[in-house]
A and B are shown apart, each in its own frame.
Chain A
């Protein structure tokens, strides 16, 4: 699996952003896109990998239009995709609360929140279709929170001064995903979507330079299966699990995008990772993942640490005037609602100063003021399930004792490079949702991931994929094509190799080692020295993996160790690219904080002159990439230093 496609060093990235004023780009573009005749749509097979918000919404919508869709998920059911765990809400510029929101303001907030490292036209389109998403979800029966008058309720979220976040208690992701899942289920019933559960994509098949199929492993039987199509859509989520400990699900992985990357799809901005400020702190070595508390809680919660170092009194005994509400102090206008990267870094700062909880890595968050102001019942209604979750995990009652929180890897803004049509550098390979890099720049605002996933799936891909299909001539391709056969052989060889090493380290042990390297040196704060070191350390660990890993069990069986081993093998390559990208980017922006590049006040310092570009990496060989740059033009927004003060 190391072939390089038609791309080369002189390849010119073309973002295909349409001309014209920002407000009419998408409208004009939609008109200029070619259409597929309704009767011809059934002649096209589209492969969709992943059934989260982006994948399920895309599969359902394309099937509704008449395409034949083959949908793949490694879960036992499409409803398990990790979008389900999103808690807080979904943004939309409906301006229902009449507080001054508009498409332009959502666009502005998102670009600014992303620290001016996203593509203006994509973000504007996202803001433009955001309202349609809410309409669509309500029509599907998603039970959003409502006011007494029966209309939809909104709350505010980080990085915004308007209330534009729609929510369904603390389970918005679940409800939206079940909406998309229900639309998908309907198409499965109608026979327009063929659903393949428990299949993990292990390779992308390109023929004559275009994506024409995938090869998957049947996770129940271990059989390698081939599927062909006219276009392939990847909606497989992010790669936070490189860190081992993250808020991602146990099985969330980067294998699909990584194998596509190795087949020629450029990987953009891999160093842009988001560390979420409000997670439960680590408790011990055997911890398998970190748990997130929705940042919605920052609406009514206040974050603080003791003013004095070494103040180890129980939190309720620390008097008000000896507490440092550091976000409110440093960012008076946004306060506790400062964007995620800033909040996370501030938490790290105070903990580095030794003012964390008991001098360790945790800060306090409590809602006592809000409980006093609004009553316990109101707070319970808003955050009851979060508080219950906190109590279950920690054994402490958050209505009485301040909660302890700490940042954790949560989301990856980087991903496969896509143009305005969401097509990667491989023709016919489209990438949606968190798996692509497009809309969040260097930092994603809260409640924007759900918006982007559904925007891509419901309202963007159905238009743009038609243009690709209509403007290409396709030869019919069978799964007996040599490329399929070759790929299957390579996969079998790869699996055989993993099973034959029979070393001493378990897959998890190596993954944990990688995670620690990444967290310490490619985490919340990075520097040149650390990055250079870590690149070498990852290489060494990769060698160790291929010499010393022990993957038990058989290839032709349900083998969860083997599944994890394949994913970790990919992380060991991707981790290096993340560090390489972070080292290349000599500036601080959003979630990428280079210690060498900060203002006197410790804020991220961008270098717009030299780094106002998307770093798109072309795979050449393991450990070797070519950098391609897509210059970012800001025609409609003024490049400014982010300020949330």
Chain B
């Protein structure tokens, strides 16, 4: 299997890992958002949703492990790509004209990713951990709504989701390009879908803290 490691360590192989894990995360986000949106239907709906997941616990645990692996690969590999690329360009230009030849979303993947990573840690620590590991009987709805009542928490959440949108806007089409799926007919469409998807994800997720912070129960 030496060839396989060489493959995944090659410049293209590393990107391919980013692409595959990225696509999986794109799918995960859709499901996650769909679940989260049940919050809008109130406590009962949300608890029912959480309860359904509870019923599938063994399966969910397996998925969670896989998901964690996907995240880890995506993150570690992303850092490796970034670090390697930095070494490939040891000196930058005095005059920066990058805004003329590339989009800001594509150039700031590592920055958006860093914020999203911090968010992810906080997210797991404040929601996933108390619910799954804490007392074991926490009310998920309660956890979420009380967190969203904290303005700082919510604002960081919103900020991270905007950056998630940035990240996805580039990442979505980039995943297709890296897989080699760039066709004159379909690629412009993929780019549009990517942007729409990125906006939907950012707005969808960020709408919850906004709702709970400013509109819920008033």
Q: Do chains A and B touch in the complex (CB under 8 A)?
A: no
Which residues of B are in contact with A by a Cβ distance under 8 Å?
none
